[in-house]
Amino acid sequence: MDQKVSIIPLGGTPDVTKNMYLYEYKNEIFIVDCGLGFADETMLGVELLLPDISYLKTTNKKIVGMAITHGHEDHMGGLPYILPELPDFPIYATPLTAEFANEKLKEFGVSKRVQKVNFDGGEIKIGSFAISFIRVTHSVPDTSNIFIKTPVGNFYHGSDFKFDFNPYDGKKTEFKKISQAGNEGVLCLLSDCLRAEKIGKTPSESKISIAFENEMEKCEGKFIITTYSSNIARLNQIINASRKFGRKVCFVGRSVIKNKQIAQDIGYMRLDKGMEVSVEDLKRHKDSNLVLIVAGSQGQENSALSRIVNDDFKEIKITPKDTIIFSSDPIPGNEISINSLLDSIAKRGAKTIHSQVSSDFHVSGHGATDDLALMMDLTHPKKVMPIGGNYRHMVAYKNLAKKQGFLEKDIIVVENGQEIVFAKDSTYLGRKIPVRNVYVDQISGEEVDSFVIRDRQKLATDGVIIVMCEIDSSNGQLVESPNIVSRGISAQEAKEVSRNLTKEIRSTLSRKKQKVTDWMYIRRAIGQVCEKYLFRNLRKRPLVLPVVIEV
């Protein structure tokens, strides 16, 4: 029989986030990444999306292992939700990625762990696959691409990267390994394409330092910076500029404090003794001696920045002498909340610098056309396949690949769920696996401290009920009885609760039989009906987590 390997993207094409790719050989499946998706502006509130893993739960094939490319939420944030649903298999990642992932798993009370692999660790055998991690530059340290050998041919999994020839942390792209992969032969290059529309080269992370220093020197009050907390090189540039001007540094907000701690623990960040000031001790220092690194660059409600700017943070008040820098780009969908923050800052008379005013304080972690073309050159694959972008980015990548000499038939542009089969002498589209949107209400995530506390209180006193409903999108009705899981409720009660909630949900939904246009409404309706029933009958207010699966 003809030998073949398949790739199936479960998420990431064409939706940028919730990256998850399956490589199948015979009855083995090897998975790359397990990301979260973020709600867009049509999905109000704090909520998340997950790749649909129904196929993985029903297939007879065996998952032999998983590798995580880097520590961004859209590549590893799905782990605590998805791992408990799947059988055990080994999961590998480079050091910082593994730290971030394991911290998250611990936080969610999931006992599975990611194994740490060093870049010089060589090849790892996973079933019939052999993989190696290749260091690339991006916007979080220890980002890797993965070279995957299979009995049919080799694949270069080039998720998020740019080629920064002068990375701030000195950790350079392993060009030698990339070209070695090219020499061994690459059947298909899967490549980041998010910035394929941008002509030229993405600038180096190192260029930010000078901008920080120039502004810090001029600032007579507090120097406040908000950025992505996982961008450790960015945090280090802020710390080094602070050191130069003798300013103390204060970390504000859960995510920056957590990531600072992890970075320090594994030696990726150095703070001199006495350089760090806690929020409580800020009052002992003059404003002009302070740098505040604050979480909430996307304008998230309840984030430290939002609370400070809205005068809801006891220890930190904005004064007209302060400078506030957004060292970030708005993630599409967050513009409105960021604009409202900028307005509130303007009211307080402080200076703000953000991406609409200056491009000196942020660079992207994704490669532009020159970076992407160089990757094609180095790996010289037979086929290319853009991943991790919207459809228009995939098309831009396709046009770039054509310019680089690839024929139309060798450029694979597919959407989630589409299997691509690589046989010895041919490549063709295989099965189309149905993938649906899976929404999850966020129970504990960045910048939602008050939610976390409220949820934990509910969990501690009244338990938790997870209600999983498959809803037919054509009529808004249950496809089958919901799957109800409860904790902290007696077995006797749970049985009865499960039976009655099913009845209640069914009757509520039956009153609104129509094509679903608003999934948020459905989730809220299910949540409310459960909460009402539980309070009426048990006098309890457990944490209710409605999970709606669109069919």
> Active-site residue numbers?
192, 366
Q: Is the peptide bond before 80 cis (omega within 30 degrees of 0)?
A: no
Stretch that binds Zn ion, among 47-55, 72-80, 352-360, 465-473 (CB under 5 A): 72-80
Long-range contacts of 537-542 (CB under 8 A, 24+ apart): 537/497, 537/500, 538/489, 538/493, 538/497, 540/462, 540/463, 540/489, 541/458, 541/461, 541/462, 542/458, 542/459, 542/462, 542/463, 542/464, 542/465, 542/486, 542/488, 542/489
Note whether 305 and 296 are within 8 A (CB).
Answer: yes
Min separation Cβ 157 and Zn ion, Å = 13
Stretch that binds Zn ion, among 159-167, 259-267, 274-282, 327-335 (CB under 5 A): 159-167
Stretch that binds Zn ion, among 65-73, 308-316, 331-339, 354-362 (CB under 5 A): 65-73
Min separation Cβ 231 and Zn ion, Å = 10
Stretch that binds Zn ion, among 152-160, 204-212, 236-244, 295-303 (CB under 5 A): 152-160
In degrees, to the nearest 5, what angle opens at C-alpha 177 toward C-alphas 175 and 180?
A: 110
Stretch that binds Zn ion, among 35-43, 66-74, 204-212, 438-446 (CB under 5 A): 66-74
- Given the complex with Zn ion, which of 101 and 548 has the nearer CB atom? 101
Min separation Cβ 74 and Zn ion, Å = 7
Note whether 308 and 345 are within 8 A (CB).
Answer: no
366 binds Zn ion (CB under 5 A): no
- Given the complex with Zn ion, which of 72 and 116 has the nearer CB atom? 72
Binding positions for Zn ion, 398-457, rule CB under 5 A: none
Per CB under 5 A, the list member of 160, 164, 215, 371 interacting with Zn ion is: 160
Binding positions for Zn ion, 127-146, rule CB under 5 A: none
72 binds Zn ion (CB under 5 A): yes
- Given the complex with Zn ion, which of 160 and 371 has the nearer CB atom? 160
The Cα 369–Cα 14 span in angstroms is 19
Min separation Cβ 129 and Zn ion, Å = 23
- Given the complex with Zn ion, which of 136 and 241 has the nearer CB atom? 136
Min separation Cβ 63 and Zn ion, Å = 23
Contacts of 488 (CB under 8 A, 6+ apart): 459, 462, 463, 464, 542
* Diameter over CA atoms, the chain: 75
The Cα 80–Cα 368 span in angstroms is 32
- Given the complex with Zn ion, which of 230 and 416 has the nearer CB atom? 230
Total interface residues for Zn ion by CB under 5 A: 2
- 369, HSE (Cβ side, Cα atoms, 13 Å): 14
- Given the complex with Zn ion, which of 69 and 418 has the nearer CB atom? 69
177 binds Zn ion (CB under 5 A): no
Pairing of strands 115-116, 91-93: parallel
**Mutual orientation of helices 491-510 and 519-538 as an angle, nearest 10°?**
140
DSSP for 268-283, please give it: S----TTTB--GGGGG
Min separation Cβ 365 and Zn ion, Å = 6
Interface residue list for Zn ion (CB under 5 A): 72, 160
